[in-house]
Amino acid sequence: MGADGAAERYARQVVFAPIGEDGQAKLLRARVVVVGLGALGSVSASQLARAGVGYIRCVDRDIVEWTNLQRQTLYDEQDAHLGVAKAEAAAAKLRQFNSDIVVESSVTDLSSQNAEALLTDVDLIVDGTDNAQIRQLINDVAVKHGIAWAYGGAVSSYGVAGLIRPGETPCLACLFGAQAERDHDTCDTVGVIGPITGVIASLQVAEALKYLSGRTDALRDGLVYVDLWHNEWRNMRFGNPQPECPTCGKRSFAALDAPSDALTVTFCGRRTIQLRPQAQTQLSLEHLAKRLRPLGTVRQTDSLLRFERGEHILTVFADGRALVHGVDDVAQARSFYTRYVGM
């Protein structure tokens, strides 16, 4: 698109005085990573792309499923039918929204081994996760490298959002303690409605646009809590960073320094268990597909392989990580993985 087309695309945003031409130019130069392309991340990524943020990296370990379509706005029925990787499906949609920006995808599980490589070459990190451990890892990287991040969480009809700026605001550990967000409600236990995820993601993006366009004087000084069903809206001021905070005060990065052991994760809202091998590996998906085709239905893309056998579905990624669908028992998931992947 030429200069005239670009000017027309962002005209309504440029005429908004707090952004203007200077702010829009900064947005076009900005680099953002969105971690988690679910309900929050799909809305955030879409708004950032349409606003003209020049570079967006989409990071997600999961695939699109039918339960996602109720609230995850970047995906359609074909994505769910094929079980495509969310990061790739999201990136493809964002490129359709705005061909002038750079969009990259990373189909991976964010861990202590890869977090710094994925999160430190950007101006802002946007939290689209539903996982306390991953948020602690984001917080560690953000504090260690001085990178702002847009925190957000939503479940049921309520949610919280805020922009955390290391050195200027409390970090996540300051706000919630070392055991941040453990034993909290999940969409599996209490459900979630689409409007709250859209509101919380929009609040995250509003702060992101202020920050990236250089209008930091307009940033919210705290977290905002919203409950759409019970008509509540509360502001919670940040206060000061805590000198005794283990993360930003004492600069101890427990999540980032933790060994990358084999993890088992039960995903929100469905009978799916994730398994990841302890040692780093690189699978030949083509070789695995040949081995599994006589045993069931196999669909393969460049980034993943989907194997259906009976009531179970196995989604395997090139790094050896797998999602075992249709199981509640960890031992059963491990057995299924070992039997068919052989690691």
Rounded CA gap, 45 and 57, in Å?
9
Decide which of 3.30.310, 3.10.450, 2.60.40, 1.20.120 is the CATH code for 264-341.
3.30.310
pLDDT of 302 over the 80 cut: yes
Exposure letters 212-251 (e unless 16+ CB within 10 A, then b): bbebeeebbebbbbbebeeeeeeeeebeebbeebbbbbee
Give me the residue label for tokens 């646009």. Answer: 209
Closest residue by Cα to residue 301 from 282, 321, 315: 315
Q: What are the pLDDT digits (tens) for 130-185? A: 878 889 999 999 999 999 999 999 999 999 999 999 999 999 999 988 655 544 56
Phi then psi dihedrals of residue 103, to 5 deg: -125, 125
Give percent above pLDDT 70 in the chain: 91
For the segment 197-225, the average pLDDT, to the nearest whole number, is 97
Q: Give CA 152 to chain center in angstroms.
A: 10
Write the single-letter amino acid at 49.
A
Give me the residue label for tokens 């939290």. Answer: 127
Determine the pLDDT at residue 182.
47
Q: pTM of the full predicted structure?
A: 0.84
- Domain positions in the chain are 3-257, 264-341
Determine the pLDDT at residue 114.
93
Determine the pLDDT at residue 341.
84
CB 164 within 8 A of CB 171: yes
Rounded CA gap, 65 and 270, in Å?
10
Among the ranges given (128-132, 260-264, 314-318), the one the predictor scored with the smallest mean pLDDT: 260-264
Determine the pLDDT at residue 103.
98
Determine the pLDDT at residue 191.
86
Determine the pLDDT at residue 331.
73
CB 139 within 8 A of CB 174: no
Tokens, residue 5: 């087309």
pLDDT of 186 over the 80 cut: no
CB 158 within 8 A of CB 277: no
Superfamily of segment(s) 3-257: NAD(P)-binding Rossmann-like Domain (3.40.50.720)
pLDDT of 2 over the 60 cut: no
Q: What are the pLDDT digits (tens) for 49-59? A: 999 999 999 99
Same fold, 3-257 and 264-341: no
Range among 90-104, 105-119, 271-285, 323-337 with highest mean pLDDT value: 90-104
